[in-house]
C-alpha cells in the first residue's frame, strides 16, 4: 500500500534499511525505516505540509530536526492514547505509527479558518490583553468561543490514559547531560576513573552532531566513533547510558529532573513497562553538554513549508539519508552553514545557490561551492518567498533582484548554546560577541559546561572540553584519573556576521513560528511601550508554548534591541526556567494516581468491617467504616439513626485504632505532660485516664484526647486521628528543643495497638464476657476514667480504658494489632444477645454532637480553649505551651464567639453546618456576622436536627433566638441557642 | 534540596518538615510574673516576629520521615547552600 | 480518575485487585524467573528501646553484651543469629528476634531504667525482598541511595518509599528487609507490584495472620 519514499538517498544514513516500517499520516500510508524520526520519514516521502499555524492557520512544514521544532506538531496515536502537540522531529518512527495534523478544518490542504490571517490586525501583539478591554459580553459570547475554535493546537485524549508512568531516583558522581561529542568524551573520561556516571541524551541514538555531520574522528566516520564510545560506556559497570532521556531541570543540591521515554517509540509500551519514567538524578557533579540550537534569519515569507534550518537539512541528508527537497538554496550569515551545505551536496543533495549576507566569505568556501556548481550570492538577502509550499525565492543581490526556483530554503543565522540548565538557579547568560550568542554565566553549583553549550562550536574543542571536564569532575571527587587519548580534530573556523532580520522584505516575517509572532508584532510591542524582554514575551507570546522560543528568543530580542537602540546584552534574555522540554503530568504523578494517589491506611478491622457491609470514608490517610447499611434501609440517615439508637439503648462497637497513640516513659513524663496540656497530669493517679487539651504556642487549641497513667513513670497519650503526626512532632520539638533537660522517652505505638470502643448501657456486660477471669470490670473495679492492663480472649494482652465519647457507658479495649479483628469478632459474639451493633464514624459524630463534645470541626486552629467552653480546665498553677498567648486581650474578649448548641425553632427544619448566625432583624452582611454552625446532626434521641456552633457571646445567650443564614443553599430560618449537650448533661449514663 | 541529617546522612528535603528560625528562645515563663505585660510582649515576639534574611539563616527542620530528630540547619536563603547541620540536642553551633 | 482495576492486565499488574486489600500471594508481571521475590511470611518479635537521657552509650554496651551483636549508635543493622538490632535514631534501637516471644520483657531486664521499651511487633509488617532487581525496584520509591555499590550489607535507613515510611536494611548480597507500618501493608504491596512487575515479582504473604 505504501508509496515509495521518493526522497530517500540510495545509500548512507544511520537507518536500518533491512527494517522497513509502515506508518500513516492524515490517513495515508507511507514507508520509513528504523532510525527515522516521523519528520525524516515524512520528508523522505515528500510530505512537506504537516500542520497549520496557531493563530493564522498558515500552512507549515518541518522546520528543524530536533527538540526545538516550532511547526511540525502532530497528534500521535488515537483514542485514549492520542497525544497532541507532539514534535514530529523527535518522534521515533515505529511500525504502525499513526499521526494526524492539527489545527485545521476540514483538512490540512483546505483549511477554512486560514481566513484568520485576514483577521491578523485583531490577533496581533497583545491580542489577549486587548480583549480584556472589551465589554465582558464580548468575551463570553464572541471572543472566547472564537478563539477556542480558531486558535490552538492539538486535541487531548478524552479517555483516561491507559498507560502507566513511574518515578525513580538515581544517584551518581558525575551526570553528563547530552551525548554529543563533548558529552561522550566527558562520560568516557569520568567513567574510566571508576566514578558512577550517568550519561543522558534525549535522542535515541548517542552522538549528537557526530551523527549529523561528515567528520572523521580517530580515523572513523563521526557516527561510527560515537557508536564506538557509546559501546565502551555501555560496557562499564559504573556507567549508566540513558538514551531517550531529557534532563529538563537543575534543582537544588545537585538534583536534576529527567524524563525517560521508555515506551514512546513503541505503538504500546511493552508489557509491564511504563510509557515514561520521571527520574530524579542526584549528582555530585554535572557536565552540561547539551549542544547548541541553530537560529533562523527573519524575512518575509519565512514560514513557508520548505524553509528549514540549515543544520536540519544537513541532519536529514547525513543521518536519515533523506533529501528534504530537490532544489535547495542556503540563506546564511556564517561559515558553518556553508560547510554543512557543501557536505549535503557531496552526499547527493542538489544545492542551487548560497545566499550570504556577508560581502566577504572565505575564498576556500567560495571555491568549494563553485567546484560543486553552487552559485554564490554574497552580500545578498532573501526578500520574499512564493508558493503554498515553497516554489520560488526573491533575492536582493548587489547586482539587483533575482528569483531562484527552489523548493527548499536552508536558513542559518548562527547558533545559540543550550544554556538553559545553567540558568535554572537564576544565573544569567552572558553575550559573546565573537559568536553573537549568549553563553553560560554563573551555573548552578557543581555544574560545568562543555562544548557547543559553552559556545565552543569547534568539534575538536567539544571533544577536548568534554574530556577535560569529565576528568576534572571525577578528580574533584577523589577519583584517580587515568590519561585519556582525546581525538585530535581540527577546529573549523566559526566566522559569522550578526544578522537577524531582513527589514525590507515583503510579507509576514515570523519571529516565533509556533506562536505566530511576527517582526511587526515586536514593533507594535515596542511602540506600545513593552520593551523589556519579559514584557515582550508576555505581550506578544513570543517564546511561549511547547518550544519555549528555542528558535525565536534571541532573534526576537535582537529585533527589539535594534528598535530601542540598545545592545543585545543590555536588552538581555528572558529567564529560563524548568522544564527544558514539556513533561507530561502522568510522569510527574507516576504510580500515584487514581486510588494510589496517596497511600491508604487500613484499620486492623478493615476486612472484618467490609464483611459487615461497611461503607468506608477517607479520614486523612485512613479508610474508616462510615456506616453499616442493612438491607431495606433507604438511605444513610436511616442506617445511622439505627446505629445511634442501638448504642443508646443497648450496645455498639467501633474501631478507634486510628487515634494517635504515644507512649511516654521516664521520671519527667508527668511534668512534661503538665507543660504540653493546659490541665495537669503529674497528679493523675496510676490507673486513671484524663481528657486533656493542648494548645499551640499562640494560644489556639491544637489537639485534644485522653492520656492514661499506666505506671508512676509511664503514660499513654491518645491524639485525634487527624493530628497524630503533628502532635508527635510537637512533643519531639518540646523535648528536643525546648526542654532537653527533661528525661522522657516517647515512642509512637499507634500501629502496635488495635483499639475498639464499645458503648451503650450493655457494654459492661459485653466487656465482662471477653476479659479473662481475673479482670474486674465492675463499676468499682474499673470506674469511670479508669485505665488498667489485663488480658482478654484467653491470654491476649490488653489495655482497658473506661472512656466515653458518645455519652454512654463506654470502654475502649486495646489489643496488639494482629488481634484487632479477633477482638471485634469476640465482642460481636459476646454482645449477640444484646443486639450489639457495629457503628461507623457517622454515628460516632451524631453521638458526640448530641453529647456536645468538640471535634475536628471545632478544633479549627482558630479557636481558643475558652471559646470551646474548655477554659476552666486550664491550670493556673503551672506554665504550659500557649498559656501566655491564650491570655491576650483578644482571646479573652467576652465578645468572642463561644461554643453553644442550636435547635431549629421549627423542629422539622434541617440544620446546615457552615450557616452563619445573625441577630434577628440584622441585615445579612459581614459586619453583622455573629459566628457559624460548626457541626450538625439529626438526633435520634430528640427526633430533630441539632447543631453546635460558635456564636458571639454564645454562653450568655442561652434561650435566645438567632437566624441561621445559609446563602449557599439559599436558606434562612430561626434557631434557638441552647447549652451544648443535648443528652444526659449530668453524665449519669457514663458513670453508671 | 538535600539536607545533611547528622544522624541519617544526606536526605531529600521531602523527608523533612520546616519550622523556621532556630535562634529564637522560648521566653522563660518564670522570669517575670505571668500577668506582666513584658512577658506577653516577649511571647508575642517569640511567636510572631521573624527576620527574613537574605543569606545565612539558622532554622529548624524536623526529619519527620527519618530519625524524627529536630535538626538545626544553616542555610543560605539565596541559593539553598547548606553550611552545616546539627541535632537539637547537640551544641547549637551549626555553621 | 478511574480505578486502575479497569486496565489491561498485560500492562497493569494490579488490574482487578481491590485497592483496600493486601494483594494475594502469587506471581506478578513479567513471566520467567522473577527478578524480585517479596515475602511477608516471617514474623519476628520486635521491640523498640529508647535510651533515657545520657544513657545511649550504655544502652549500646548493654545490648552488645546481652545480644552478642556488634552495635554502634548509627543507622546500621547488627545481625547475629536470630537477633537483629537496627539503629533508627540517636539512642533508638529496634530489636528483632526470631525466638524471643517476650522480647520487651527481656530488654527491660537487660536495660533496666536506662531505656524505655515498647512492644512494636504488631506495628510493623516485615517485607523480605530478594533478587537482583531489588535496588532497581526500590529506586522507584526511595529517595536514598540504595545502589549496592554504596549501600552495603548491614547498612540501614529510616526513610520514605512511595510516601510510606520504612526502616530498611541490607541483609545480604541481594536481600533487603523492610519494616512497614501495619496499616500500610496493602498500599506498600501495591507499590511493590506496580514497580516490580517489569522484572517479574513473586509475592508470598501467607504467613502473617490476624489481618482481620
pLDDT digits (tens, 9 = 90+) for A657-705: 999 999 999 999 999 999 999 999 999 999 999 999 999 999 999 999 9
Chain A: closest CA distance from residue B87 (Å): 9
Helices (H), C50-176: 56-67, 103-111, 134-138
State pTM to two decimals.
Answer: 0.94
pLDDT given for residue A355 in this prediction: 98
| Greatest Cα pair distance in chain A | 116
pLDDT given for residue A989 in this prediction: 86
Domain A1-160 belongs in CATH node 3.30.1490.20: no
Cβ neighbourhood burial of A529 (10 Å; 0-12, 13-18, 19+): exposed
CA distance A580 to A259: 11
pLDDT given for residue C5 in this prediction: 38
* CATH T-level fold of A166-292+417-476: FAD/NAD(P)-binding domain (3.50.50)
Residues of chain A with CATH 3.50.50.60: 166-292+417-476, 295-414+494-571
In a domain, B95, yes or no: no
H, E, C per residue of A158-210: CCCCCCCCEEEEEEEEEEEECCCHHHHHHHHHHHCCCCCEEEECCCCCCCHHH
pLDDT given for residue A987 in this prediction: 84
Strand-pair category, A97-101 with A971-978? unpaired
Q: Does C158 contact B at CB distance below 8 Å?
A: yes
Strand order in the sheet with C156-161: C26-28, C201-204, C36-39, C124-130, C175-181, C164-172, C156-161
Q: Does C55 contact B at CB distance below 8 Å?
A: no
- At the second CATH level, the architecture of A607-657+752-847 is 2-Layer Sandwich (3.30)
Chain B: closest CA distance from residue A170 (Å): 12
In a domain, C211, yes or no: no
CB contact under 8 A, A606 and C11: no
Q: What is the distance of C-alpha A92 from the center of its chain?
A: 26
Place of cell 457494654: A763
Domain A295-414+494-571 belongs in CATH node 3.40.1360.10: no
pLDDT given for residue A986 in this prediction: 84
Q: Which residue of B has its CA nearest to A888?
A: B40
Residues C96 and C168 in one domain: no
The CB density around residue B35, as the number of other CB atoms within 10 Å, is 9
Residues of chain A with CATH 3.30.1360.120: 607-657+752-847
In a domain, B92, yes or no: no
pLDDT given for residue C4 in this prediction: 43
* Residue in A87, A455, A511, A503 with CA at minimum distance from that of residue A296: A511
Q: What is the distance of C-alpha A870 from the center of its chain?
A: 43
In a domain, B63, yes or no: yes
Pick the CATH number of A660-748 from 3.30.70.1400, 3.30.360.10, 2.60.40.650, 3.40.50.1970: 3.30.70.1400
Place of cell 467490609: A610
Chain C: closest CA distance from residue A479 (Å): 15
CB < 8 Å & 24+ apart, contacts of A558-562:
A558/A498, A558/A500, A558/A501, A559/A298, A559/A500, A559/A501, A559/A511, A559/A519, A559/A522, A559/A523, A560/A522, A560/A525, A560/A526, A560/A531, A560/A533, A560/A536, A562/A500, A562/A501
* Residue in A6, A2, A95, A113 with CA at minimum distance from that of residue A51: A113
Total structural domains within chain B: 1
Q: Which residue of C has its CA nearest to A166?
A: C140
Q: Does C159 contact B at CB distance below 8 Å?
A: yes
**Exposure string for A873-905, b = 16+ CB within 10 A, e = fewer:** bbeeebebbbbbbbbeeebeeeebbbbbbbbbe
CA distance C59 to C77: 16
Q: Which residue of C has its CA nearest to B67?
A: C89
CB contact under 8 A, C159 and B14: no
Residues C136 and C198 in one domain: yes
CB contact under 8 A, A884 and B60: no
Q: State yes or no: ipTM above 0.95.
A: yes
Chain C: closest CA distance from residue A657 (Å): 10
Instruction: Give the domain range for residue B48.
Output: 2-87
The partner residues of A617 in beta bridges, in order of sequence, read A624
Q: Which residue of C has its CA nearest to A255?
A: C143
Residues of A in contact with C197 (CB under 8 A): 272
Residues C183 and C111 in one domain: no
Q: Best mutation site among B6, B14, B24, B26 for testing chain A: the one with the most A CBs within 10 Å?
A: B26
Chain A: closest CA distance from residue B40 (Å): 6
SS3 A586: helix
pLDDT given for residue A155 in this prediction: 82
In chain A, which residues have pLDDT < 70? Answer: 1-4, 105-106, 111-122, 127-136, 138-153
Cis before A579 (ω within 30)? yes
Identify the DSSP state of B15: G
Q: What is the distance of C-alpha A440 from the center of its chain?
A: 27
CA distance A191 to A229: 11
Strand-pair category, B9-12 with B17-21? unpaired
In a domain, C72, yes or no: yes
Instruction: Give the domain range for residue C70.
Output: 45-119
Using an 8 Å Cβ cutoff, are C77 and C171 in contact? yes
C 107-136 → A contacts, CB under 8 A: 115-116, 118-124
Residues of A in contact with B82 (CB under 8 A): 253
Residues C128 and C197 in one domain: yes
* CB-nearest partner of B65 from C75, C92, C160: C160
Residues of B in contact with C167 (CB under 8 A): none
CA distance A708 to C208: 31
Q: What is the CATH number of the domain that holds C81?
A: 3.30.70.1520
CB contact under 8 A, A272 and C150: no
Cβ pairs bridging B and C (under 8 Å): 39
CB contact under 8 A, B65 and C157: no
Using an 8 Å Cβ cutoff, are A36 and A28 in contact? no
C 69-98 → A contacts, CB under 8 A: none
Chain A: closest CA distance from residue C183 (Å): 5
Chain C: closest CA distance from residue A150 (Å): 30
Residues C156 and C200 in one domain: yes
CA distance A602 to A623: 6
Residues C134 and C176 in one domain: yes
In a domain, C70, yes or no: yes
- At the second CATH level, the architecture of A887-991 is Beta Barrel (2.40)
Residues C35 and C78 in one domain: no
In a domain, C209, yes or no: no
Q: What is the CATH number of the domain that holds C164?
A: 3.30.1360.120
Cis before A953 (ω within 30)? no
CA distance A720 to A622: 12
pLDDT given for residue A1 in this prediction: 43
Residues of A in contact with B70 (CB under 8 A): 732-733, 736-737
- For every residue of A415-440, DSSP letters joined together read EEE--GGGGTTS---EEETTTTEEE-
Residues C70 and C109 in one domain: yes
Total structural domains within chain C: 2
Cα→Cα distances C44→A269, A572, A824, Å: 40, 64, 25
In a domain, C13, yes or no: no
Using an 8 Å Cβ cutoff, are C69 and C79 in contact? yes
Amino acid at each position: 500500500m505504501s508509496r515509495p519514499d521518493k526522497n530517500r538517498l540510495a545509500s548512507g544514513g544511520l537507518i536500518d534499511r533491512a527494517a522497513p516500517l509502515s506508518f500513516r499520516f492524515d490517513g495515508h500510508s507511507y514507508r520509513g525505516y528504523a532510525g527515522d524520526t516521523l519528520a525524516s520519514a515524512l520528508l523522505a516521502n515528500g510530505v512537506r505540509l504537516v500542520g497549520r499555524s496557531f493563530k493564522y492557520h498558515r500552512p507549515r512544514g518541518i522546520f528543524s530536526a530536533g527538540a526545538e521544532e516550532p511547526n511540525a506538531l502532530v497528534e500521535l496515536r488515537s483514542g485514549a492514547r492520542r497525544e497532541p502537540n507532539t514534535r514530529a522531529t523527535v518522534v521515533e518512527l515505529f511500525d504502525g505509527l499513526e499521526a494526524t495534523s492539527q489545527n485545521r478544518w476540514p483538512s490540512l490542504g483546505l483549511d477554512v479558518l486560514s481566513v484568520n490571517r485576514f483577521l491578523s490586525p485583531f490577533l496581533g501583539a497583545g491580542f489577549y490583553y486587548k480583549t480584556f478591554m472589551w465589554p465582558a459580553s464580548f468575551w463570553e459570547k464572541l471572543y472566547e468561543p472564537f478563539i477556542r475554535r480558531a486558535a490552538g493546537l492539538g486535541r487531548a485524549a478524552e479517555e483516561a490514559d491507559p498507560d502507566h508512568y513511574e518515578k525513580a531516583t538515581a544517584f551518581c558522581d558525575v551526570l553528563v547531560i547530552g551525548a554529543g561529542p563533548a558529552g561522550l568524551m566527558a562520560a568516557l573520561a569520568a567513567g574510566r576513573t571508576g566514578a558512577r556516571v550517568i550519561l543522558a541524551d534525549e535522542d535515541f541514538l548517542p552522538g549528537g552532531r557526530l551523527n549529523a555531520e561528515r567528520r572523521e574522528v580517530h580515523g572513523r566516520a563521526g557516527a561510527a566513533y560515537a557508536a564506538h564510545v557509546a559501546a565502551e560506556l555501555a560496557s562499564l559497570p559504573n556507567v549508566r547510558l540513558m538514551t531517550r532521556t531529557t534532563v529538563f531541570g537543575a534543582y537544588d543540591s545537585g538534583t536534576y529532573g529527567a524524563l525517560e521515554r521508555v515506551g514512546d517509540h513503541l505503538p504500546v509500551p511493552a508489557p509491564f513497562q511504563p510509557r515514561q519514567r520521571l527520574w530524579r538524578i542526584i549528582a555530585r557533579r554535572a557536565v552540561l553538554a547539551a549542544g547548541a540550537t541553530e537560529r533562523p534569519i527573519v524575512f518575509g515569507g519565512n514560514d513557508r513549508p520548505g524553509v528549514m534550518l540549515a543544520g536540519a537539512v544537513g541532519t536529514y541528508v547525513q543521518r536519515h539519508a533523506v533529501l528534504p527537497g530537490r532544489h535547495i538554496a542556503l540563506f546564511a550569515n556564517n561559515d558553518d552553514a556553508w560547510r554543512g551545505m557543501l557536505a549535503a551536496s557531496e552526499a547527493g543533495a542538489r544545492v542551487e545557490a548560497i545566499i550570504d549576507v556577508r560581502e566577504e566569505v572565505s575564498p576556500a568556501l567560495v571555491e568549494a561551492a563553485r567546484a560543486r556548481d553552487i552559485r554564490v550570492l554574497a552580500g545578498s538577502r532573501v526578500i520574499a518567498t512564493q508558493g503554498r509550499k515553497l516554489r520560488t525565492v526573491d533575492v536582493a543581490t548587489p547586482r539587483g533582484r533575482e528569483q531562484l526556483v527552489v523548493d527548499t530554503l536552508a536558513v542559518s543565522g548562527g547558533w545559540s548554546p543550550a544554556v538553559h540548565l545553567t540558568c535554572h538557579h537564576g544565573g544569567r547568560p552572558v553575550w559573546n560577541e565573537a559568536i553573537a550568542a549568549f553563553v553560560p554565566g554563573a551555573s548552578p553549583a557543581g555544574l560545568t559546561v562543555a562544548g557547543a553549550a559553552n559556545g565552543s562550536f569547534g568539534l575538536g574543542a567539544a571533544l577536548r572540553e568534554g574530556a577535560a571536564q569529565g576528568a576534572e569532575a571525577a578528580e574533584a571527587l577523589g577519583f584517580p584519573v587515568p590519561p585519556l587519548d582525546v581525538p585530535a580534530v581540527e577546529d573549523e573556523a566559526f566566522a559569522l556576521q550578526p544578522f537577524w532580520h531582513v527589514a525590507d522584505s515583503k510579507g509576514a516575517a515570523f519571529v516565533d513560528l509556533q506562536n505566530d509572532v511576527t517582526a511587526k508584532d515586536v514593533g507594535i510591542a515596542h511602540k506600545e511601550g513593552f520593551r523589556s524582554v519579559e514584557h515582550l514575551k508576555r505581550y506578544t507570546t513570543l517564546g511561549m508554548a511547547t518550544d519555549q522560543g528555542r528558535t525565536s528568543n534571541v532573534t526576537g530580542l535582537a529585533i527589539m534591541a535594534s528598535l530601542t537602540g540598545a545592545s543585545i546584552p543590555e536588552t538581555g534574555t528572558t529567564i529560563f526556567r524548568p522544564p527544558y522540554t514539556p513533561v507530561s503530568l502522568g510522569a510527574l504523578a507516576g504510580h500515584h494516581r487514581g486510588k494510589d494517589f496517596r497511600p491508604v491506611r487500613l484499620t486492623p478491622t478493615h476486612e472484618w468491617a467490609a464483611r459487615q457491609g461497611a461503607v468506608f470514608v477517607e479520614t486523612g490517610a485512613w479508610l474508616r467504616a462510615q456506616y453499616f447499611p442493612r438491607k431495606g434501609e433507604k438511605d444513610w440517615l436511616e442506617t445511622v439513626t439505627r446505629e445511634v439508637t442501638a448504642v443508646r439503648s443497648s450496645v455498639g462497637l467501633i474501631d478507634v485504632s486510628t487515634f494517635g497513640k504515644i507512649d511516654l516513659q521516664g521520671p519527667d513524663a508527668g511534668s512534661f505532660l503538665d507543660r504540653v496540656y493546659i490541665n495537669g497530669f503529674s497528679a493523675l493517679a496510676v490507673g486513671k485516664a484524663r481528657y486533656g487539651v493542648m494548645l499551640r504556642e499562640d494560644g489556639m487549641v491544637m489537639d485534644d484526647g485522653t492520656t492514661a497513667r499506666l505506671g508512676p513513670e509511664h503514660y499513654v497519650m491518645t491524639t485525634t486521628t487527624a493530628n497524630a503526626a503533628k502532635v508527635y512532632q510537637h512533643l519531639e520539638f518540646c523535648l528536643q528543643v525546648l526542654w532537653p533537660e527533661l528525661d522522657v522517652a516517647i515512642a509512637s505505638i499507634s500501629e502496635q495497638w488495635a483499639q475498639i470502643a464499645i458503648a451503650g448501657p450493655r457494654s459492661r456486660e459485653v466487656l465482662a464476657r471477653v476479659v479473662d477471669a481475673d479482670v474486674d470490670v465492675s463499676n468499682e473495679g474499673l470506674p469511670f476514667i479508669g485505665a488498667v492492663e489485663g488480658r482478654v480472649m484467653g491470654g491476649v494482652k490488653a489495655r482497658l480504658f473506661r472512656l466515653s465519647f458518645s455519652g454512654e457507658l463506654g470502654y475502649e479495649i486495646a489489643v496488639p494489632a494482629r488481634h484487632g479483628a479477633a477482638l471485634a469478632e469476640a465482642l460481636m459474639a459476646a454482645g449477640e444477645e444484646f443486639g450489639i451493633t457495629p457503628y461507623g464514624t457517622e454515628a460516632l459524630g451524631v453521638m458526640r454532637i448530641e453529647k456536645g463534645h468538640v471535634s475536628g470541626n471545632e478544633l479549627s486552629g482558630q479557636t481558643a480553649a475558652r471559646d470551646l467552653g474548655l477554659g476552666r480546665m486550664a491550670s493556673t498553677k503551672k506554665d504550659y505551651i500557649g498559656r501566655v498567648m491564650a491570655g491576650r486581650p483578644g482571646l479573652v474578649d467576652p465578645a468572642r464567639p463561644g461554643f453553644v448548641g442550636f435547635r431549629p425553632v421549627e423542629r422539622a427544619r434541617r440544620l446546615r453546618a457552615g450557616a452563619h448566625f445573625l441577630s434577628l432583624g440584622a441585615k445579612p452582611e459581614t459586619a453583622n456576622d455573629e459566628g457559624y454552625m460548626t457541626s450538625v446532626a439529626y438526633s435520634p434521641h430528640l427526633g430533630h436536627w441539632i447543631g453546635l456552633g460558635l456564636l458571639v457571646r454564645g454562653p450568655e445567650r442561652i434561650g435566645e433566638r438567632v437566624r441561621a443564614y445559609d446563602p449557599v443553599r439559599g436558606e434562612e430560618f430561626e434557631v434557638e441557642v441552647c447549652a451544648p449537650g443535648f443528652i444526659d448533661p449530668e453524665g449519669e449514663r457514663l458513670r453508671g | 534540596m538535600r539536607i545533611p541529617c547528622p544522624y541519617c546522612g544526606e536526605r531529600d528535603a521531602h523527608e523533612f518538615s520546616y519550622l523556621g528560625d532556630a535562634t529564637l528562645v522560648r521566653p522563660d515563663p518564670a522570669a517575670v510574673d505571668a500577668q506582666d505585660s513584658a512577658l506577653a510582649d516577649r511571647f508575642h515576639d517569640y511567636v510572631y516576629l521573624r527576620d527574613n534574611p537574605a543569606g545565612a539563616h539558622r532554622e529548624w527542620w524536623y526529619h519527620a520521615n527519618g530519625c524524627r530528630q529536630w535538626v538545626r540547619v544553616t542555610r543560605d536563603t539565596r541559593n539553598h547552600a547548606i553550611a552545616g547541620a546539627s541535632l537539637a540536642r547537640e551544641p547549637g553551633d551549626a555553621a | 480518575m478511574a480505578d486502575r482495576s479497569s486496565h489491561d492486565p498485560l500492562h497493569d499488574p494490579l488490574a482487578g485487585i481491590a485497592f483496600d486489600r493486601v494483594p494475594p500471594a502469587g506471581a506478578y508481571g513479567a513471566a520467567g524467573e522473577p527478578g524480585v521475590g517479596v515475602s511477608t511470611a516471617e514474623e519476628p518479635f520486635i521491640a523498640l528501646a529508647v535510651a533515657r537521657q545520657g544513657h545511649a552509650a550504655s544502652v549500646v554496651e548493654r545490648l552488645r553484651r546481652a545480644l552478642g551483636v556488634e552495635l554502634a549508635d548509627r543507622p546500621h543493622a547488627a545481625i547475629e543469629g536470630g537477633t537483629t538490632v537496627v539503629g533508627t535514631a540517636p539512642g533508638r534501637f529496634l530489636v528483632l528476634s526470631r525466638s524471643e516471644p517476650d522480647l520487651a520483657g527481656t530488654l527491660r531486664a537487660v536495660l533496666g531504667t536506662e531505656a524505655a521499651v515498647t512492644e512494636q511487633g504488631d506495628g510493623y509488617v516485615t517485607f523480605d525482598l530478594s533478587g537482583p532487581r531489588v535496588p532497581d525496584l526500590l529506586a522507584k520509591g526511595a529517595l536514598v541511595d540504595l545502589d549496592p555499590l554504596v549501600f552495603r550489607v548491614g547498612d540501614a535507613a529510616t526513610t520514605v518509599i512511595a510516601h510510606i515510611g520504612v526502616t530498611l536494611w541490607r541483609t545480604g548480597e541481594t536481600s533487603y528487609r523492610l519494616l512497614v507500618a501495619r496499616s500500610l501493608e496493602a498500599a506498600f504491596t501495591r507499590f511493590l507490584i506496580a514497580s516490580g512487575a517489569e522484572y517479574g515479582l513473586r509475592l508470598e504473604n501467607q504467613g502473617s495472620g490476624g489481618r482481620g
